[in-house]
Chains A and B, each alone.
Chain A
Amino acid sequence: MILTNIDSVPGKQIVQHFGLVQGSTIRAKHFGRDFAAGLKNIVGGELKGYTELLQESRTEATNRMIAQARELGANAIINVRFTTSSVAQGASEILAYGTAVRVE
């Protein structure tokens, strides 16, 4: 599966459009419980635990999007977008969406 966030796959021709595909996941971050992040909050800088957590969520959302595209018979997803939004206190939704196409 080829992913791009532009309108085409350079060097290839789009032969069929399958429409929008998407994948999302909502993850809760356990604030008070995450002791390491709490300590890190004092000195500032990167909170590695959260970086990894969100990265995992994004991979999960992307994989769900890819699975949807594969089911449709696509071999590429163009114009991929990522968004993150807080849907509830302490939980964020990660959404990946794009246009499934067949390229040759």
Chain B
Amino acid sequence: MSIELLILLFVPLVLLVIGRIVGAHLERAHYASIAEREARFSRQPALSTKHVDAPAPIQSTSLASGSVVVSIDQFKRFLSRFRMLIGGEVRPYTKLIERARREAILRMKESQPDADLYINTRLETSNISSASGEGGMGIVEVLAYGTAVHYARSHDQ
């Protein structure tokens, strides 16, 4: 009887602790990876405008897209439930989706890594966890897509 009770309390607690520790570690590793790749692509900006005054003739264009599906860890999900009771900004989700958006933009760039810039970049977020019903939120897909522009190379070589 008491063992059952112990397990009943213990398992969710262990999941929370695992979520807290491993989740924080993964998040830190991901931020480091994002920062490193963003630095690499810093000279190939993604613009949200449709037109750009090209400094060189445009040689070719192609569609670039990247997406990522993310979920929040058990600990933050637990905390966010309280936040949803009292209202206000749900900071862990804000941060998670912001991180996913940066990742999606990077993947969009990586899908056409030789482009000089990416115009008309569109971001789309969709909740794909409606079936689970747990707090309504949790698994989110972020898609980034745009038109990759390649300048004619002849002039600078």
Contacts and interface: CB of A to CB of B under 8 A. Distances in A.
Contact of A6 (B18, B69, B119, B127): B119
B76 A84 contact: no
A42 B50 contact: no
Interface stretch (B2-10, B36-44, B143-151): B143-151
Nearest to B128: A92
A89 B72 CA distance: 20
A43 B69 contact: no
A51 B68 contact: yes
B22 to A, nearest CB: 4
Given A29-B128, A41-B138, A55-B67, A9 B61 contact: yes
Contact of A46 (B50, B68, B145, B146): B68
A47 B69 contact: yes
Residue among B59, B131, B139 with the most chain A CB within 10 A? Answer: B131
A43 B23 contact: yes
B127 A45 contact: no
Interface in A1-57: 2-7, 9-11, 29, 31, 40-48, 50-51, 54-55
Given A5-B63, A92-B126, A84 B96 contact: no
Q: Is the interface of A mostly helix, strand, loop or mixed?
A: mixed
Contacts of A54: 67, 69, 128, 141
B67 A58 contact: yes
A101 to B, nearest CB: 13
Nearest to B96: A44
A92 B68 CA distance: 15
Interface in B128-157: 128, 130-132, 138-139, 141, 143, 145-147, 149
Contacts of B143: 58, 82, 84
A45 B139 contact: no
Residue among A29, A46, A83 with the most chain B CB within 10 A? Answer: A46
Minimum-distance CB pairs A-B, first 9: A44-B73, A90-B131, A3-B63, A50-B69, A43-B22, A84-B126, A10-B58, A44-B23, A4-B147
